[in-house]
Amino acid sequence: MGREIDLLANYPQPKRDVESRGGEKTEADRAIARQFGEAFFDGDRRHGYGGFSYSPRFWQPVIPTFQEHFGLTADSSLLDVGCAKGFMMHDLAELIPGITVKGTDISQYAIEHTIDDMQEHVQVADAKSLPFDSDSFDVVISINTIHNLDREGCAQALREIERVSRGQSFVTVDAYRNDADRDRMVAWNLTAKTMMSTDEWIHFFGEAGYTGDYYWFIP
């Protein structure tokens, strides 16, 4: 198995009012969010992002960390599973000219609204069945995506990431280290169907045969 490593340490951390969000969200809001349509990306904040637009301040500080960790060059290829509107892909291509980047997302809306220069590199696809041959990419990355599947679907997605990568991958998932973390996660969560403790996730990775690196989203 890979290792626990925070490759998103340089991603800007917003202030989160977890208690208020937990009190405001209903199961109806979660059902709308899990459609991953316009409401989730660009609708009311209670259904998701409340407006999902590009800014270089988010991913550009992270790209050098990815570049160093994975040894990315102009000759590298990378797949982003759960690419949304392709913002991370755009910054990868801008900061590492020549790199091959591809992306998939379950959301037809996100793919249709992908940032212009990445539109030809993205497609709608389920993480449980990636439309690529085995060993297609040097690196596969999936940020806060696979936990949106149920437990078996999550395991299947991990196996797919393992299949299409040539040995390097990185995922982040909703997790908790203690009861307080778990309570905050339940209050914060809109879309995740699989939430486990960090120890449970590590065991789960092993069961699924996932050998890549990983880290946690803990609000």
Residue 100 tokens read as 């091959």
pTM of the model: 0.95
Is the model's pLDDT at 14 over the cut of 80?
no
Confidence of residue 188 (pLDDT cuts 50, 70, 90): confident
Task: Return the C-alpha torsion angle 105, 201, 141, 15, nearest 10.
Answer: 80
- Structural domains of the chain sorted by starting position, each given as residue range(s) with its CATH number in brackets: 18-44+59-217 (3.40.50.150)
38-52, 106-120, 140-154: which has the minimum mean pLDDT? Answer: 38-52
Is the model's pLDDT at 23 over the cut of 70?
no
Mean pLDDT of 164-184: 96
Q: How many CB atoms lie within 10 A of CB 8?
A: 20
What is the distance between the alpha carbons of residues 62 and 11, in angstroms, rounded to a whole number? 6
Mean pLDDT of 88-94: 98
* Residue the block writes with tokens 């299949």: 163
The per-residue pLDDT for 10 is 97
Is the model's pLDDT at 105 over the cut of 90?
yes
Could you give phi then psi for residue 51, rounded to 5 degrees? 125, 110
SS3 content of the chain, % helix, strand, coil (to 5): 40, 20, 40
Residue 139 tokens read as 């690196």
Confidence of residue 16 (pLDDT cuts 50, 70, 90): low
Contact between residue 166 and residue 132 where contact means Cβ atoms under 8 Å apart: no
What is the distance between the alpha carbons of residues 41 and 75, in angstroms, rounded to a whole number? 32
Could you give phi then psi for residue 165, rounded to 5 degrees? -90, 160
Is the model's pLDDT at 176 over the cut of 60?
yes
